[in-house]
Amino acid sequence: MKRFILVLLLPLLGNSQTSDQPIIDMHLHDYTEASYYVAPAPDGVVSPKDYKTYKEELLRALQENNIEKAVVSTIGGKNTLDKEGVFIPGYYTNSPPTDTTAFKALINSGKLKVFGEIGAVYDGYTLSDPEFEPYLKICERYNIPVAVHTGGGPPGITYRCCPNFRIKLGDPYTLEDVLAKHPKLRVYIMHAGEVFYENTLRMLLQYPQLYTDLGVILWVDEQPKDYAEQFIRKAKKYGILDRVMFGSDQMVWPHAIKKSIDQLNSYDFLTESDKRKIFYENAVQFLQLKE
């Protein structure tokens, strides 16, 4: 009898906690045993103690939050894929790759389905720099989407890994030459431009093929969360919400997934149908998941 009551209660519990509707996360990171690191997130939550625990927590977070697909990028495309086929393999890099043959081989083997995240800003590049050109040409020919970091980066990053990092290189306007040259290239702006979110709005209005994700700005800190809210409000007002896609930018902190979902769900200026578009439908369109 007890079990029977629990079975009856389960759907109610399910609805009050997480949505049973599928979600596509357009912005996820993964690591190898060697590149994984333990550090506190800006919100103070410390990453899982080791790589194995991290992977378990990450897979659990995907399952509990009904993530049907997730674009995941590991440095140089060294992704470990899940058996369920949730992960869509990306290729993380801060600099232009240096071997077009190897790049094409990754595409042909199915190990590269999205070129990105491209964190060009961290190495002093923009996507419009000529070194990226051969790779963009390949992506256009093979119909591979390109995902570009926009906005700033973590505090003090210029003095740690990345002396050539400049915020101004994260302006979405730096993508304009690429879009002009490659009208068929499928590009999405990551982080919705962050501090340059108004320029992202302008670019979305100018280039009807362009999409954006909300990675990191839904959870990491008060300032980007403020940008996210203003960006989404204006995207709705300007009628371009159908090219805004959900992303968590989970790095070494799996809790970021649920936190981002809760943040988007908290916006009462969005209808349920707006939210479904952002969480799922827009990504289905962009990724061409249905014929």
Which residue ranges make up the site for Zn ion (CB under 5 A)?
A: 149
Smallest gap from residue 116 Cβ to Zn ion (A): 9
- In the complex with Zn ion, the residue whose CB is nearer, 89 or 215, is 215
Specify the residue, 55 or 149, whose C-beta has the smaller distance to Zn ion.
149
Residue 119 · residue 93 · CB < 8 Å: yes
> Measured from the CB atom, is 73 or 274 closer to Zn ion?
73
CB of 151 to Zn ion, least distance (A): 8
For Zn ion, the closer of residues 91 and 270 by Cβ is 91
Q: What is the DSSP string of 37-88?
A: ---B-TTSPBPPSSHHHHHHHHHHHHHHTTEEEEEEEEETT-PPPPTTS-EE
Give the DSSP letter of residue 277: I
C-beta closer to Zn ion: residue 24 or 270: 24
Q: How far is the CB of 147 from Zn ion (least distance, A)?
A: 9
Shortest reach from residue 72's CB to Zn ion, in Å: 13
β-pairing, 23-29 vs 146-149, is: unpaired
Quote helix, strand, coil % in the chain, to nearest 5. Answer: 45, 15, 40
- Cβ of residue 155: shortest distance to Zn ion, in angstroms? 15
Listing DSSP states for 97-156 in one string gives -S-HHHHHHHHHTTS-SBEEEE-GGGGT--TTSGGGHHHHHHHHHHT--EEEE-S--STT
- Nearer CB in complex with Zn ion: 69/149: 149
Q: Least distance in Å: CB of 10 to Zn ion?
A: 37
CA-closest candidate to residue 204, choices 191, 188, 184: 188
Angstrom distance (rounded) from CA 276 to CA 68: 13
Return the number of other C-beta atoms located less than 10 Å from residue 52's C-beta. 11
- The nearer residue to Zn ion, 113 or 149, going by C-beta atoms, is 149
Q: Of 246, 241, 251, which Cα lies nearest the Cα of 271?
A: 241
* Length, in residues, of the chain: 291
**C-alpha distances out from residue 190 to 6, 83, 110, 212, Å:** 42, 26, 22, 6
Supply the minimum distance, in Å, between the C-beta of residue 43 and Zn ion: 17
Q: Looking at beta carbons only, is 27 or 270 nearer to Zn ion?
A: 27
